[in-house]
Amino acid sequence: MSIVIHEVSHGFMAEYFGDKTARYAGRLTLNPLKHLDLFGSVLLPAILVISNTPFLFGWAKPVPYNPDNLSNRKWGTIAVAAAGVLANFSIAILFGIIIRLTSGLAMPADFYFITSIIVMVNLALGIFNLVPIPPLDGSKILFSFLPSSFSRAMVFLEQYSFFFIIIFIIYFSGFLFPILSYSFSLLTSLAF
């Protein structure tokens, strides 16, 4: 559901800036079935679980939007990209507050397990999506600030984005762990 909320947030922000593409496509809904991607939401996660990999990875279908329809293309693109990340961080903060407020209460053990996972997943989604590799949100934010002379580099990165993401996950995702761990402890006062 965190991925669904992330994607729907993109669509609502695009609509705020004047693009109704997501609404016309029926994608401004929290119904997870509308956002399933056969490979990214089902097959790849299943393969990773069956093969006992140390990480789980997947995605939902991106909510469509047309940057040409945005009332302000530069700031609209930045806002649309940031909306998903901010949605994930907001969910993490909300559940972090819930964990902190209930820490002195006798809650079932499953409560802390589930709320901790919600915080962790949303922090991971938010942090990972800030990586500036297409099609991640960080790339859209970064590319919006770069001059047009970087357009060839952007096209190259977009063409081979899947490979760059796989390379990043395999070799460099460990660099995100300290950020995730610190953020989790900061929000929940629990050890990661």
Q: Which residues are catalytic?
A: 7
- ∠ CA 99-104-110, nearest 5°, is 50
22-26 — which CB contacts under 8 Å span 24+ positions? 22/63, 22/64, 22/65, 25/63, 25/64
How many residues does the structure list for the chain? Answer: 192
Pull the structure tokens for residue 63.
Answer: 């909510």
Using alpha carbons, list the distances in angstroms from residue 180 to 42, 164, 173. 25, 21, 11
- ∠ CA 17-36-192, nearest 5°, is 85
How far is C-alpha 48 from the chain's CA centre?
19
Q: How far apart (Å, rounded) are the C-alpha atoms in residues 181 and 37?
A: 29
Report the 10 Å Cβ neighbour count for 55.
9
- ∠ CA 111-100-84, nearest 5°, is 80
